[in-house]
Amino acid sequence: MTGGAGFIGSNFIRFIFQSGGFKGRVINIDKLTYAGNAESLADVQAAQGDRYVFERIDICDFDAVKNCLVKYDVDCIVHFAAESHVDRSIHGPAEFIQTNIVGTFNLLEVCRQVWNGRNDVLFHHVSTDEVFGSLGAEGYFYETTPYDPRSPYSASKASSDHIVNAYFHTYGMDITMSNCTNNYGPYQFPEKLIPVMLLNMLEDKPLPVYGDGMNIRDWLYVIDHCSGIWAIVCGGRLGETYNIGGENEWTNIDLVNRMCELTAEKTGKDKDHYKKLITYVKDRPGHDRRYAIKCDKIKNELGWKQSVTFDAGLSLTIDWYLNNQAWTDSIKSGEYLRWVDKNYGGRA
C-alpha cells in the first residue's frame, strides 16, 4: 500500500485485516508527510506481527521503491499516496505535481521493470471524482464522463489517471482504477471539512463556510470506500475504472448544521449552541459547485453496496473524534512530527 499511513490508506489496511478474507502480508510505504500518521496503525502492527510491515519511502525515489518491491516480492500495489487538499494545491501546486504525477509515473516504471510482464500482479490506482469537474443542479458523473479538472489538485489526479491507463494500453500492465466521492470517518487529518468543523466546535471557534454554503458534495463513509476498493482488487476487470460513491448529496451548509446538532446532542449543549459559530467566508478560487457519482457499475458487476447511512456514519465519526482527542492534539501540537523525527530519522 502506498500512502498507507494516511486517512483512507490506514482505514483500508485495518479493513482488509479485519475482513477475514485477506491471508497475505501488507507492506505499507509512506513518506510520512504532515498528513500521514504511522501511529494510526499501532494496533494493526501489534496484532499482525510480521504480516504488517512499515517502510518510510518516498514514492518518487525509484531505487527505494524498487528495492522494496523486490525485497518483499510484492504482487499487488494499492496506490493511495497523494497530496489531496484542494486549498493547499491552490497555494502550493508544486508538491501536487511532484507526488501525484511524478510519483505515480515512478511507481509504474518500477512495476514495469520488476514485474516484467507477469500476469499474476495488479496495480490499483485510487482517484477522485474531482477529475470530472463540476456538475450543474442535475446529472451525475459516470465512468465515461469526460475529464474537466478545475484545481491543481484535480488536474494532477487527472494526469495520474491517464498515465495509469496508458500503462495498461501501451505496456499491457494489469491495472484497475477507482474514482470516489468525499470520504469521511476516523483518522482523517484535521484540515478537511468534517474534522475542521468538529474540532472548531469543541474549542468554540468560528465554523468557516465558503461562499454561500450551497456547494454540494456526495459523502461516502470511509469503510464503504475500503470495501469497494477491496471488491475491485479481488474481482474487478483489468483495465477498468469503477466509481465508488455514497449517493448521498449534502450542501455544505446543511452538513455543517447537521454536525452542529449531533455534536450539541453528544456534548450536552443547547441544540443551537454551535450553529451560532457558523461564519461565511470568501469562496475559494475554482470551487466546484456540485459533485455526484453514479456507481451502478461496481454494484452490478461486483455486488458492492454502501453499508453505512450518513447519519450513522456521521455519528460514528463524531464519537471517534470525541473519544480520540489525544490523536488530534498530537498532530495539532506538533508532537506527532517530533515522534517521526525520533523514530524515522527526520521529517519528509
| Domains of the chain as residue ranges with CATH | 7-189+221-247+292-308+326-342 (3.40.50.720)
> Residue 346's pLDDT band (boundaries 50, 70, 90)?
very low
Contact 303, 235 (CB under 8 A): no
In angstroms, how far is CA 311 from the centroid of its own chain? 20
Predicted confidence band at 106 (pLDDT cuts at 50, 70, 90)? very high
Global confidence as pTM = 0.92
pLDDT at 348: 35
Q: Is 34 considered catalytic here?
A: no
39 classed as catalytic: no
Alpha-carbon gap, residue 332 to 202, rounded angstroms: 14
Distance, in Å, from the CA atom of 195 to the CA atom of 199, rounded to the nearest integer, reads 6
Q: Measure the CA–CA gap between 207 and 331, rounded to whole angstroms.
A: 20
Catalytic residue among 83, 140, 143, 153: 153
Catalytic residue among 30, 130, 143, 174: 130
C-alpha distances in Å from residue 286, one per residue of 59, 89, 101, 291: 29, 11, 21, 14
For residue 284, the model assigns a pLDDT of: 79
Active site residue 153: yes
The catalytic residue among 30, 58, 83, 129 is 129
Tell me: pLDDT of 101 over 60. Answer: yes
Please tell me whether residue 29 adopts helix, strand or coil conformation.
Answer: strand
Question: What average pLDDT score do residues 16-28 get?
Answer: 92
Q: Which residue has the higher pLDDT, 329 or 208?
A: 208
Task: Report yes or no: 259 and 198 within 8 Å, Cβ to Cβ.
Answer: yes
